[in-house]
Amino acid sequence: MTISVDSCKKPTWRFVLSHPAHFFSFGFGSGLFPVAPGTAGTLVAFPFYLYFSERLTDGAFIFVLIGSFILGVWACGKTGKALGVADHGGMVWDEIVAFLLVLLFTPEGFFWYLLAFFLFRFFDITKPPPIRYFDRTWHGGFGVMFDDILAAGYTLLSLALVRYVLS
């Protein structure tokens, strides 16, 4: 049973648990965090990264990310329709997947992980061109997921520049 937006003006645990798409799109519930749910969702990526990075080759990790992206297109699309909001702020699967991509290519170490986190949040929140364009014009699950992949790209380019300057 899927709970409709009529009975769920503000998503709750009941809504999140009512369908697997909602559970994934809300980042296992992290999207219900009352303040900065996108930041909470981004933080969820860390334990997943630690788990996968110890068990998977980089190639296998990329396949997990591709599968997670495809899952996100479906889950965020379905949840957005149920909520009547294409990119509801509580849908954080896009942040989780995009930041996992960032972490895969981030140099090891606390400094690098912290810098990657702040850069990703900066680009995801400010949405510099062309991220803002795609955020405003591409809707549905693919649009939700795609703008965060662009923010991940900006983050990785920035990390590469910092690494170059520091070397």
Q: Determine, yes or no, domain membership for 10.
A: yes
Q: Determine, yes or no, domain membership for 1.
A: no
Strands of the chain (E only): list them.
none
Q: Determine, yes or no, domain membership for 17.
A: yes
Kindly indicate the confidence band of residue 9, based on its pLDDT and cuts at 50, 70 and 90: low
Residue 141 in contact with residue 73, Cβ under 8 Å?
yes
Where is average pLDDT lowest: 3-17, 21-35, 65-79, 84-98? 3-17
SS3 93: helix
Q: Determine, yes or no, domain membership for 78.
A: yes
Angle between helices 140-166 and 110-126 (to 10 degrees): 130
What is the rounded CA–CA span in Å between residue 67 and residue 63? 6
Kindly indicate the confidence band of residue 157, based on its pLDDT and cuts at 50, 70 and 90: very high
Does the pLDDT of residue 6 top 80, yes or no?
no
Residue 105 belongs to domain spanning: 6-166
Judge if pTM exceeds 0.75.
yes
Residue of 110, 27, 35 whose CA lies nearest to 118? 110
CB atoms within 10 A of CB 130: 11
What is the tally of structural domains in the chain? 1
